[in-house]
Amino acid sequence: MDTRAIKKLAYMTLGAAGIGLAITALFLLSRTAQNSEDFDRLHIVILLINTAGIVVLFALLVANLARLLREYRTHVLGSKLKARMVGMSATLAVVPLLVVFYFSMQFINRGIDTWFNVEVEKGLDDALALSRTVLELEMQDHLKTTTKIAENLRETNATQLVFELSTLRQESGASEISVFGNNKQIMATSSDFAADYMPQVPTDEVLLQIRQNKPFISLDPLEHGNYQIRTAVVFGNRSRPEALRIIQAKFPVTEKISRMANSVDSSYSEYKRLLYLREPLKRTFILTLTIVLLLSLLASVYGAFVLSRRLVAPIQDLVEGTIAVAKGDFDTRLPSPTRDEIGFLVSSFNDMTENLSKAQRQASLSQAQVEAERTNLEVILARLSTGVIAFESDLRIRLANQASGSILNVELENRAGEYLSNIASDHPLLEQFIDAAQTHLNAGETEWREQIVLRGEVGRRVLTCACTTLPGDEDHIPGFVVVFDDITALLQAQRDSAWGEVARRLAHEIKNPLTPIQLSAERLRRKYIKTMSDQEVQVLDRATHTIVEQVEAMKDMVNAFSEYARAPNIDISTFNLYKLAHEVVDLYRTQESDIEIVLNTDLMLPNIEADIGRVRQMLHNLIRNSIEALENSDYKGRIEIRISKSKIQETEVIEIVVQDNGPGFKTVSMSQVFDPYVTTKPKGTGLGLAIVKKLVEEHAGSIEAENLDDNGAMIRIKLPVNEIAREAMMVMLSGRREKLGGQA
């Protein structure tokens, strides 16, 4: 049994004891009210029971009050309401009780005081004095009679004493006359009583009086309210003490006087007794009334505690249940209600929580389904190569997939809640994207499609965008979702394909007639040179020479196109790029040129698995491109080639950087740097970088071109070091590549 249960049991026991005592006291009071003898007999018991009841109730009250105070201080739910109810109930019970008590006290004090009256008291005193005076006169008469009898008997001898005494008694009206000797022996007696009646010997009181030579006289109350006057005198020769005699006489008081005297005596005594008992009676009544008041008062206050506890308990349960519901605990059920309004309230609460619980379970189920769908959507979005950005009308990101960040060259996937405008400040592609989107949104277009071109440092990026509205929900305001694809590579591939077709047609259509043209020109020269004058020979010679040179030039051009358009046939081998780079660079260093060529290679450069011929051509084309860019410059040209080991997302690559201090790429042509026939140089076919790009892509590598801050251009190539790295690079680029393949 826990402490709380023990306490509850103790309280219940005390309460039961208190109630039992109170009921017992009431029962006894009820019985004693009907029977005064019972009341007298049980009064002390009743008082003790009531006192015990008061003690028990007081202990209960103190315990309840202490508990209420503790609950109030610790802000236990419902304690304030309980305190208020106890206060109100106690006030309602205590005030009338105190009023009744006050008036009862007044009534007792004044009621008892009205029993006594100064005039009554004086009247009684006078009546008593009058009665005494009357009786005193009679007593004195009887004393004189007794003295006279004593004188008559002075000379009477012992034998005549009895007869004389009888005569004198009858004459005097005494009921009894006795003569005693000095030692109290009876010498003679005469009375109205039976013959065997023994006369009363003189008491010490009588003897004491006699010895003082004083006659004795007294008024003796008898039974049944009668009185008798007793007298005693001494007679005989005082010189002989042994001869002294005592005569004791008893005279009845008449019945009428006795009755009146007794009435006065009784009334006076009763009045005095009441006067004496006035204060004790008051105190007793007040004590009893106080006990009853205390019992009633304590019982009322305790009842207030019990009542308030019972009333507040379901309210406390309701408050606790409400708090639990507010915290999301919908499984709260309150104890079985009673059948009153509070019970109805509790029952309604239980119904409500049950409904809420069901709704919560349904909501949880729905939420789980939504979460599952959301997860599926996230998986799908993550796998999509298409960029998806959902944002609210204030450009706050609601959702963005990984592809969107890849396309716009900014990490967006985990930045939900941030404003696109804030992120875009450092990312020009995203900034242009937002500008393009806002153009439509500001125009009120909520559903739109457009192909937009974003311009970056590394070239342009072409996106196809589709936008639609996104309804709002509890957490979000309405917004938009933009789905976009990077079709730059697709367009590039289409362009490459077109150029390849052009190259093939050129090779086929143009290269074939060139040889006959060249041969025909040489034949013309041989056939007619002999028949012409010297002047005409010079003309012919110069013309045919020009034809032959131009045809050769056209052949070179056609060969270059053939090289660009030829089918990929990679011959992968493992070789040392360091060595290859040095061989290529040495070729250009041997040529007479003012251009400085610097080669920086990593000493720990690993061997690379690639087509050595293609890589050599890449280096040739890049160096030649830079040299051509630096020709005709009025300052000392410088080409720096750096080859180092690098990583792209844990994938090992070799980075080849070729940079020069030439004029750089024209910004307008940055997006078309790698297109065929795009050149800013006075010389050149425009196929150099296009071929390099083609070669790099054949190796699943990447190539970037950019202008340096101070004059110059830089080409950065990243080639996978081995087959594993190549496959990894292909996976990284798979989205775009696969898409390219699919769309192609």
Tally DSSP H helices, then E strands, for the chain.
19, 17
**CB proximity list for 350: less than 8 A, separation 6 or greater:** 333, 334, 337
Minimum CB distance to another protein smaller for 166 or for 175: 175
Q: According to the binding rule CB under 8 A, does residue 382 interact with another protein?
A: no
Question: If you count them, how many residues does the chain have?
Answer: 744
- One residue of 23, 158, 287, 539 binding another protein per CB under 8 A: 287
Please pick, from the candidates 102, 103, 107, 276, the single residue that binds another protein as defined by CB under 8 A.
276
How many C-beta atoms surround the C-beta of residue 436 within 10 A? Answer: 21
In angstroms, give the least distance from the CB of 319 to another protein: 50
Should residue 122 be labelled a site residue for another protein when binding is judged by CB under 8 A?
Answer: no
Asked if residue 43 binds another protein (CB under 8 A), the reply is yes
Residue 203 CB, shortest distance to another protein, in Å, is 8
Q: Which long-range contacts (CB under 8 A, 24 or more apart) does 726-734 make?
A: 726/609, 726/699, 726/700, 727/700, 728/649, 728/650, 728/651, 729/648, 729/651, 729/653, 729/700, 729/701, 729/702, 730/700, 732/648, 732/649, 732/651, 733/700, 733/702
Q: How far apart are CA 81 and CA 542, in angstroms?
A: 122
Stretch in the footprint of another protein (CB under 8 A) among 267-275, 459-467, 468-476, 659-667: 267-275
Please list every residue from 481 through 520 that binds another protein, using CB under 8 A: none
Least distance from another protein to the Cβ atom of residue 236, Å = 25
CB-based contact 576:721 (threshold 8 Å): no
CA neighbor of 651 nearest in space, from 580, 738, 736, 718 = 718
What is the Cα gyration radius of the chain? 71
Query: Nearest-CA neighbor of 253 among 127, 148, 137, 125?
Result: 137
Rule CB under 8 A: which of 556-615 touch another protein? none
Short-list 210, 224, 233, CA closest to 253 = 224
| Least gap, CB of 69 to another protein (angstroms) | 35
Footprint on residues 186-205 left by another protein (CB under 8 A): 203-205
Residue 155 near another protein by CB under 8 A: no
| Out of 275, 307, 359, 380, the residue judged to bind another protein by CB under 8 A | 275
Q: Which of 234, 264, 318, 627 binds another protein (CB under 8 A)?
A: 264
Among 100, 277, 307, 453, contact with another protein (rule: CB under 8 A): 277
Q: Which is nearer to another protein, 269 or 512 (CB)?
A: 269
Residue 481, both tokens: 């979702």
Could you tell me the end-to-end alpha-carbon distance of the chain, in angstroms, rounded to an integer? 83
Is residue 61 a contact partner of residue 301, using CB atoms and an 8 Å limit? yes
| Options 19, 26, 47, 466; binder of another protein; rule CB under 8 A | 47
Shortest distance (Å) from residue 220 CB to another protein: 5
Residue 214 contacts another protein per CB under 8 A: no
Contact with another protein (CB under 8 A): which of 122, 144, 283, 624?
A: 283
Is 261 an interacting residue with respect to another protein (CB under 8 A)?
yes
Closest distance to another protein from the beta carbon of 275 (Å): 7
Q: With contacts defined by CB under 8 A, how many residues of the chain interact with another protein?
A: 41
Q: Which residues pair with 600 in a beta bridge?
A: 642
Among the listed ranges 41-49, 106-114, 435-443, 507-515, the one in contact with another protein (CB under 8 A) is 41-49
The Cα 660–Cα 622 span in angstroms is 10
Stretch that binds another protein, among 222-230, 332-340, 442-450, 451-459 (CB under 8 A): 222-230
Question: What single letter denotes the amino acid at residue 739?
Answer: K
Rounded CA separation 705/696 (Å) = 13
Q: Under the rule (CB under 8 A), what is the footprint of another protein?
A: 39-44, 47, 128, 131-132, 135, 203-205, 218-223, 227, 261-262, 264-265, 268-273, 275-277, 280-281, 283-285, 287-288
